[in-house]
Amino acid sequence: MTFEISSHLDAHPLARTGVLHTPHGDIATPAFIPVGTKATVKAVVPEMIANIGAQAVLANAYHLYLQPGSDIVDEAGGLGRFMNWPGPTFTDSGGFQVLSLGSGFKKVLSQEFSGSSHADGAVAQSKERLADVDDDGVWFRSHLDGKRHRFTPEVSMRIQHELGADVIFAFDELTTLLNSRAYQEEALERTRRWARRCLVAHQALTAEREHKPYQQLFGVIQGAQYEDLRRKAARDLGSMEVDGVGFDGFGIGGALEKENLGAIVGWVTQELPENRARHLLGISEPDDFFAAIEAGADTFDCVNPSRVARNAAIYSPDGRFNLTRAQFKRDYGPLVPGCACYTCTHYSRAYLHHLYKAKEMLFSTLATIHNEYFTVHLVDGIRAAIEEGHYAEFKEETLGRFYSGNWGKR
C-alpha cells in the first residue's frame, strides 16, 4: 500500500492525515510540495529546501524535456540525483502547459469569470498561443527557440519515466473557466481516453525499466466548475484499470472557482477510492489550504510562494506585505517577528530592503527561504492540529490573523 490514512477530522469527515510512501522516503500528509520547475526551486539550493522542512519537490516534465532533455536527467540517475535532492520527487505531465501556453489564462479565477462569453479558442490579453490540442495529443511551440514539439500520453509517460520522479501524473487537458460547457465535455472525454493510454504506457515502461524504483502514476481529475463532470471524471478514473491495475493516486486539476474550491474538491474526493492519495495541483493560499483539506485533499504544490518572493511580497501570520516600502529602510527587526526560518533569524527587514533596491541576487534567495518556510509550516500546522484535536481553534486563529488586515499593528 502506497498511502495509509492515520486519522480523520470528526467535524469534516473527508479531511484526513496520512502517509504517502515512496522509494525515496515517506511524506506525512497533508503536505505542501515546493515547486522546482526546472529541477530547482528558483534562487535556492536543495539543502535550503530540506532545512525549511519540505518533504518533497515537484518539477515540470515539459520544461525538463525542452532543457536539458529527459534523457540527460535519466543518464544522471534521475531527477533527485540530478538536482542533489535525496527525498521524494513529483513531476507534472505537461498538461498544465496546455493552459499556460495555450490560452494563457490563470488556473484559479473568481466566480465572475465562469461561463462568460469568451470563445473556446480565446487567448489572454498580451499572450500568444503556443499550444494546440487535438484528440491524439498536443502540439507545443517552444518558448525557447520556436520549434514544434509533439506531446501525447505515451510521450509524456516516456519523459516522466526518464525523469524518474516518485510520483508522476497522467497527461491531461487543462481547460479554463472561460471554456463553454460543450468544450468542457469534449475535453473531459479526451482526458479520460488519454488517462487509459497513460496506464497502458506506464505499465509497459515499468516492465521495460524494472531495474528502476517504482513510480506511482496519479490520474488527473478535470471538469472545471461543473459538479456532474467532476463526479463523472472521478468515477471514471477511480475505477479505471488496465490488466487489473489502476492509478496509484489522483491529482485534482483544472480551472477552479476560488469561491467554490472546497465544494469542487469535495465532489471529487467523495467519488474517489479512499485509500489513494489526492494531490491538488497549483494551490498555496491559506484559506484554500483549509478548504481543500476539509474536502479531502492530501498534498499541494504551487510556484506562488517563490514567485511572489522574488517580487518582494512576504508572507506573515498577519497577511502579506511588500518589502519595497520606504518604512523598511531603517527597520532593523527580523523580516517576520517570531518566525524560525533562516532568513528571519539572521537578517533584518532593512537588509532585505537594501538587497531588493540594489537588485542583489541574494534577495531572492532569502525571501524565497522565508515564503517557502511559511507555506510548508502552515500546512504542517494544519496536519498537527488535526492529529492533536484542535483544528477548529487553529483555523480560526490562523485565518483570522491572516485576513484581518492588521499587518504591522501587532
How far is residue 68's CA from residue 162's CA, in Å, rounded to a whole number? 12
Q: How confident is the model at residue 113 (pLDDT cuts 50, 70, 90)?
A: very low
pLDDT in the model for residue 405: 79
Tens of pLDDT, residues 176-224: 888 889 999 999 999 999 999 999 999 999 999 999 999 999 999 999 9
pLDDT in the model for residue 410: 52
Residue 92 annotated as catalytic: yes
pLDDT in the model for residue 107: 46
Overall fold of domain 3-302: TIM Barrel (3.20.20)
How far is residue 120's CA from residue 111's CA, in Å, rounded to a whole number? 18
Tens of pLDDT, residues 234-293: 999 999 999 999 999 999 988 788 899 999 999 999 999 999 999 999 999 999 999 999
Residue identified by cell 500520453 is 153
pLDDT for residue 44 is more than 90 = yes
Q: Is 30 helix (H, G, I), strand (E, B) or coil?
A: coil
pLDDT for residue 39 is more than 60 = yes
What is the average pLDDT value for the chain, to the nearest integer?
92
Supply the pTM of this predicted model: 0.93
Cβ count near 147 (within 10 Å): 9
Task: State the catalytic residue, choosing from 92, 166, 288, 318.
Answer: 92
pLDDT in the model for residue 146: 86
Q: Is 42 helix (H, G, I), strand (E, B) or coil?
A: coil
Residue 301 annotated as catalytic: yes
pLDDT for residue 225 is more than 60 = yes
Q: How confident is the model at residue 114 (pLDDT cuts 50, 70, 90)?
A: low
For residue 197, give the C-alpha cell: 493510454
Q: What is the mean pLDDT of residues 1-25?
A: 96
The neighbouring-strand residues paired with 90 are 58, 167
Domain map (residue ranges) of the chain: 3-302, 313-402
Task: State the catalytic residue, choosing from 172, 288, 298, 301.
Answer: 301
How far is residue 359's CA from residue 357's CA, in Å, rounded to a whole number? 5
How far is residue 261's CA from residue 349's CA, in Å, rounded to a whole number? 35
Q: Is 179 helix (H, G, I), strand (E, B) or coil?
A: coil
Q: What is the mean pLDDT of residues 374-398?
A: 98
pLDDT in the model for residue 112: 46
Q: Quote the distance between the C-alpha of residue 183 and its chain's center.
A: 25
Tens of pLDDT, residues 290-344: 999 999 999 999 999 999 999 999 999 999 999 999 999 999 999 999 999 999 9
Q: How confident is the model at residue 395 (pLDDT cuts 50, 70, 90)?
A: very high
Please give the share of the chain, as a percent, with pLDDT higher than 90. Answer: 82
pLDDT in the model for residue 100: 64
pLDDT for residue 120 is more than 80 = no
Helix H segments across 28-117? 46-51, 61-66, 70-75, 79-83, 96-98
Q: What is the mean pLDDT of residues 54-79?
A: 97
Tens of pLDDT, residues 85-110: 999 999 999 877 765 665 444 544 44
The residue among 321, 326, 306, 325 whose CA lies nearest residue 367 is 306
